[in-house]
Amino acid sequence: MAETTRPRPDGPAPDARGAPARLERFAPVERWLHWANATLIAVVVATAAILYVGPLSVAVGRRALVRTIHVYVGLTLPLPWLIGFLGRWRGPLLDDARRINRWSADDKRWFLTRGRGRGVRLGKFNPGQKLNAAFTVGAIVVMLATGSIMHWFKPFPVDWRTGATFVHDWTAIFLFVAITGHVGIALSDPEALRAMLRGSVSAEWARRHRPRWHDEVVGADLPHEVGRG
Protein backbone atom coordinates (compact mmCIF):
# COMPACT_ATOMS: atom_id res chain seq x y z
CA MET A 1 0.00 0.00 0.00
CA ALA A 2 1.15 3.50 -0.70
CA GLU A 3 2.61 5.16 2.32
CA THR A 4 1.09 8.54 2.88
CA THR A 5 1.81 9.13 6.53
CA ARG A 6 4.97 11.12 7.00
CA PRO A 7 6.64 12.33 10.13
CA ARG A 8 5.79 15.91 10.83
CA PRO A 9 8.30 18.03 12.64
CA ASP A 10 5.73 19.78 14.80
CA GLY A 11 7.08 18.95 18.25
CA PRO A 12 10.35 19.23 20.06
CA ALA A 13 13.55 18.95 18.07
CA PRO A 14 14.54 15.62 16.59
CA ASP A 15 16.53 13.39 18.89
CA ALA A 16 20.22 12.65 18.62
CA ARG A 17 19.72 9.98 15.97
CA GLY A 18 17.85 12.41 13.77
CA ALA A 19 14.41 10.81 14.28
CA PRO A 20 11.49 13.20 14.90
CA ALA A 21 10.20 13.35 18.47
CA ARG A 22 6.57 13.38 17.38
CA LEU A 23 4.86 11.54 14.52
CA GLU A 24 1.69 12.59 12.77
CA ARG A 25 -0.98 9.99 13.48
CA PHE A 26 -4.27 11.53 12.38
CA ALA A 27 -4.64 14.15 9.64
CA PRO A 28 -7.08 17.04 10.24
CA VAL A 29 -9.77 15.41 8.07
CA GLU A 30 -9.60 12.25 10.17
CA ARG A 31 -9.91 14.15 13.42
CA TRP A 32 -12.75 16.19 12.00
CA LEU A 33 -14.63 13.05 10.91
CA HIS A 34 -14.02 11.38 14.25
CA TRP A 35 -15.37 14.29 16.31
CA ALA A 36 -18.25 15.15 13.97
CA ASN A 37 -19.34 11.52 14.12
CA ALA A 38 -18.79 11.35 17.89
CA THR A 39 -20.93 14.46 18.46
CA LEU A 40 -23.85 13.09 16.45
CA ILE A 41 -23.52 9.70 18.14
CA ALA A 42 -23.54 11.39 21.55
CA VAL A 43 -26.85 13.08 20.70
CA VAL A 44 -28.50 9.89 19.43
CA VAL A 45 -27.24 7.89 22.42
CA ALA A 46 -28.48 10.52 24.89
CA THR A 47 -31.91 10.75 23.27
CA ALA A 48 -32.06 6.95 22.95
CA ALA A 49 -31.39 6.64 26.69
CA ILE A 50 -34.26 9.04 27.41
CA LEU A 51 -36.61 7.06 25.16
CA TYR A 52 -35.54 3.66 26.44
CA VAL A 53 -34.55 3.79 30.12
CA GLY A 54 -37.69 4.03 32.27
CA PRO A 55 -36.47 6.43 34.99
CA LEU A 56 -34.96 8.77 32.36
CA SER A 57 -38.16 8.72 30.28
CA VAL A 58 -40.03 9.67 33.40
CA ALA A 59 -37.58 12.43 34.40
CA VAL A 60 -37.47 14.08 30.99
CA GLY A 61 -40.87 13.38 29.41
CA ARG A 62 -41.49 15.36 26.17
CA ARG A 63 -41.47 12.09 24.31
CA ALA A 64 -42.59 13.40 20.92
CA LEU A 65 -39.82 16.05 20.90
CA VAL A 66 -37.10 13.65 22.07
CA ARG A 67 -38.15 11.14 19.44
CA THR A 68 -38.02 13.78 16.70
CA ILE A 69 -34.49 14.82 17.72
CA HIS A 70 -33.40 11.17 17.85
CA VAL A 71 -34.77 10.38 14.39
CA TYR A 72 -33.50 13.45 12.56
CA VAL A 73 -30.06 13.61 14.18
CA GLY A 74 -29.79 9.88 13.44
CA LEU A 75 -30.50 10.54 9.78
CA THR A 76 -27.58 13.00 9.61
CA LEU A 77 -25.09 10.33 10.73
CA PRO A 78 -23.86 9.51 7.18
CA LEU A 79 -23.14 13.19 6.39
CA PRO A 80 -19.67 13.50 7.99
CA TRP A 81 -18.66 10.22 6.34
CA LEU A 82 -19.83 11.37 2.92
CA ILE A 83 -18.11 14.74 3.33
CA GLY A 84 -14.91 13.04 4.50
CA PHE A 85 -14.76 10.28 1.92
CA LEU A 86 -16.04 12.14 -1.15
CA GLY A 87 -13.83 15.23 -0.96
CA ARG A 88 -10.36 15.83 -2.36
CA TRP A 89 -9.08 15.52 1.21
CA ARG A 90 -9.97 11.86 1.53
CA GLY A 91 -6.42 10.46 1.10
CA PRO A 92 -5.64 9.83 4.78
CA LEU A 93 -9.14 8.38 5.34
CA LEU A 94 -8.78 5.90 2.51
CA ASP A 95 -5.34 4.94 3.72
CA ASP A 96 -6.58 4.24 7.26
CA ALA A 97 -9.70 2.48 5.99
CA ARG A 98 -7.40 0.03 4.18
CA ARG A 99 -5.32 -0.48 7.31
CA ILE A 100 -8.43 -1.06 9.40
CA ASN A 101 -9.82 -3.59 6.95
CA ARG A 102 -6.72 -5.81 6.72
CA TRP A 103 -5.67 -8.08 9.59
CA SER A 104 -2.07 -9.29 9.53
CA ALA A 105 -0.89 -12.57 11.02
CA ASP A 106 0.39 -10.53 13.99
CA ASP A 107 -3.04 -8.96 14.40
CA LYS A 108 -4.67 -12.39 14.60
CA ARG A 109 -2.12 -13.56 17.10
CA TRP A 110 -2.58 -10.40 19.19
CA PHE A 111 -6.33 -10.88 19.09
CA LEU A 112 -6.25 -14.57 20.04
CA THR A 113 -3.85 -13.93 22.92
CA ARG A 114 -5.74 -10.80 23.99
CA GLY A 115 -2.69 -8.60 23.48
CA ARG A 116 -0.25 -10.85 25.33
CA GLY A 117 1.42 -12.68 22.45
CA ARG A 118 5.19 -12.45 22.55
CA GLY A 119 6.95 -10.81 19.66
CA VAL A 120 3.74 -9.44 18.12
CA ARG A 121 4.51 -6.26 16.21
CA LEU A 122 1.47 -4.12 15.51
CA GLY A 123 0.90 -1.69 12.66
CA LYS A 124 -0.94 1.63 12.96
CA PHE A 125 -3.99 0.11 14.66
CA ASN A 126 -4.43 -2.75 17.06
CA PRO A 127 -7.09 -5.36 16.23
CA GLY A 128 -9.40 -4.02 18.93
CA GLN A 129 -9.39 -0.64 17.19
CA LYS A 130 -9.94 -2.33 13.84
CA LEU A 131 -12.86 -4.31 15.18
CA ASN A 132 -14.36 -1.25 16.87
CA ALA A 133 -14.14 0.79 13.67
CA ALA A 134 -15.68 -1.94 11.48
CA PHE A 135 -18.41 -2.56 14.08
CA THR A 136 -19.20 1.16 14.37
CA VAL A 137 -19.58 1.59 10.60
CA GLY A 138 -21.72 -1.56 10.38
CA ALA A 139 -23.82 -0.42 13.33
CA ILE A 140 -24.48 2.99 11.78
CA VAL A 141 -25.79 1.35 8.60
CA VAL A 142 -27.89 -1.17 10.56
CA MET A 143 -29.30 1.52 12.87
CA LEU A 144 -30.19 3.77 9.93
CA ALA A 145 -31.96 0.95 8.12
CA THR A 146 -33.86 -0.39 11.13
CA GLY A 147 -34.63 3.07 12.50
CA SER A 148 -36.07 4.10 9.13
CA ILE A 149 -38.29 1.01 9.03
CA MET A 150 -39.48 1.75 12.59
CA HIS A 151 -40.31 5.35 11.67
CA TRP A 152 -41.70 4.89 8.13
CA PHE A 153 -43.24 1.45 8.64
CA LYS A 154 -46.21 1.75 6.27
CA PRO A 155 -44.61 0.32 3.06
CA PHE A 156 -43.06 -2.70 4.81
CA PRO A 157 -44.50 -6.10 5.73
CA VAL A 158 -46.07 -6.06 9.17
CA ASP A 159 -43.47 -8.29 10.81
CA TRP A 160 -40.63 -6.06 9.76
CA ARG A 161 -41.44 -3.28 12.18
CA THR A 162 -41.17 -5.66 15.13
CA GLY A 163 -38.06 -7.23 13.56
CA ALA A 164 -36.50 -3.80 12.99
CA THR A 165 -37.26 -2.81 16.60
CA PHE A 166 -35.65 -6.04 17.77
CA VAL A 167 -32.47 -5.41 15.76
CA HIS A 168 -32.38 -1.70 16.69
CA ASP A 169 -32.68 -2.48 20.43
CA TRP A 170 -30.00 -5.17 20.52
CA THR A 171 -27.58 -3.29 18.27
CA ALA A 172 -28.03 -0.28 20.58
CA ILE A 173 -27.02 -2.40 23.57
CA PHE A 174 -23.88 -3.71 21.82
CA LEU A 175 -23.09 -0.22 20.57
CA PHE A 176 -23.40 1.18 24.08
CA VAL A 177 -20.95 -1.45 25.35
CA ALA A 178 -18.53 -0.69 22.48
CA ILE A 179 -18.68 3.07 23.02
CA THR A 180 -18.17 2.72 26.76
CA GLY A 181 -15.13 0.53 26.14
CA HIS A 182 -13.78 2.86 23.46
CA VAL A 183 -14.05 5.96 25.66
CA GLY A 184 -12.70 4.13 28.71
CA ILE A 185 -9.61 2.85 26.89
CA ALA A 186 -9.02 6.26 25.28
CA LEU A 187 -9.10 7.97 28.69
CA SER A 188 -6.66 5.42 30.08
CA ASP A 189 -4.09 6.21 27.35
CA PRO A 190 -3.66 10.01 27.20
CA GLU A 191 -1.02 9.83 24.48
CA ALA A 192 -3.33 7.89 22.16
CA LEU A 193 -6.17 10.29 22.98
CA ARG A 194 -3.88 13.22 22.20
CA ALA A 195 -3.39 11.85 18.71
CA MET A 196 -7.12 12.22 18.10
CA LEU A 197 -7.16 15.69 19.67
CA ARG A 198 -3.96 17.24 18.29
CA GLY A 199 -2.92 14.79 15.57
CA SER A 200 0.44 13.51 16.75
CA VAL A 201 1.95 10.98 19.15
CA SER A 202 5.41 10.79 20.62
CA ALA A 203 7.83 8.63 18.68
CA GLU A 204 8.43 6.78 21.90
CA TRP A 205 4.74 5.84 22.19
CA ALA A 206 4.72 4.70 18.59
CA ARG A 207 7.83 2.57 19.08
CA ARG A 208 6.42 0.90 22.17
CA HIS A 209 2.83 0.38 21.08
CA ARG A 210 2.83 0.40 17.27
CA PRO A 211 6.37 -0.69 16.32
CA ARG A 212 5.58 -1.71 12.78
CA TRP A 213 3.91 1.62 12.07
CA HIS A 214 6.73 3.46 13.78
CA ASP A 215 9.29 1.81 11.55
CA GLU A 216 7.18 2.45 8.50
CA VAL A 217 7.01 6.15 9.27
CA VAL A 218 10.50 6.73 10.61
CA GLY A 219 12.34 4.22 8.46
CA ALA A 220 13.31 0.79 9.75
CA ASP A 221 17.00 1.53 9.86
CA LEU A 222 16.81 3.01 13.34
CA PRO A 223 17.48 0.78 16.30
CA HIS A 224 14.44 -0.31 18.27
CA GLU A 225 13.38 -2.91 20.71
CA VAL A 226 10.52 -5.29 20.01
CA GLY A 227 7.33 -3.84 21.38
CA ARG A 228 4.37 -5.76 22.59
CA GLY A 229 1.52 -3.43 21.71
Partner 1 sequence: MPIERSSPVGRRVFLGMLGLGAAGIVWGSKAQDAMEKLFAPITAKDGTGLSSLLPVGRFRIYSVTGDLPSRSTTAYSLKVGGHVDSPYTLSFAELTAMPSLQLTKDFQCVTGWRVHDVKWTGVRLGDLLDKAGTKPGARGVVFTSFDGEYTESLTLEQARRSDVIVAYDMEGHVISSDHGGPVRLYVAPMYGYKSCKWLDSIQVTDTPPPSGYWEVRGYDADAWVGKSNGRDDTPTA
Q: Which residues are near partner 1 by CB under 8 A?
A: 1, 51-54, 57-64, 99-105, 107, 123-124, 127, 130-131, 133-135, 137-139, 141-142, 145-146, 149-150, 153-154, 158-167, 169-171, 173, 212, 216
- Report the nearest approach of partner 1 to the CB of residue 213 (Å): 8
Alpha carbons 123 and 23: distance in angstroms, whole number: 14
Residue 201: phi and psi, rounded to 5, are -125, 160
Q: Is 143 or 192 the residue whose CB approaches partner 1 more closely? A: 143
Q: CA–CA distance from 138 to each of 23, 24, 74 (Å)? A: 30, 27, 14
Q: Is 35 or 170 the residue whose CB approaches partner 1 more closely? A: 170
- Report the nearest approach of partner 1 to the CB of residue 44 (Å): 17
Cα 64 versus chain centre, distance: 31
Compute how many other C-beta atoms are within 10 angstroms of the C-beta atom of residue 172. 19
177 Cβ neighbours under 8 A, 6+ residues apart: none
- Report the nearest approach of partner 1 to the CB of residue 4 (Å): 12
Q: Is 130 or 209 the residue whose CB approaches partner 1 more closely? A: 130
Q: Is 3 or 18 the residue whose CB approaches partner 1 more closely? A: 3
What radius of gyration, in Å, describes the C-alpha atoms of the chain?
21
- Report the nearest approach of partner 1 to the CB of residue 190 (Å): 26
Identify the bridge partners of residue 115 per DSSP, sorted by sequence position: none
Q: Is 136 or 202 the residue whose CB approaches partner 1 more closely? A: 136
Q: Which helix H or strand E contains 202, and what residues bound it?
A: strand 200-202
Q: Is 1 or 226 the residue whose CB approaches partner 1 more closely? A: 1
Length of the chain: 229
- Report the nearest approach of partner 1 to the CB of residue 218 (Å): 15
- Report the nearest approach of partner 1 to the CB of residue 12 (Å): 28
Alpha carbons 229 and 157: distance in angstroms, whole number: 49
Alpha carbons 93 and 107: distance in angstroms, whole number: 20
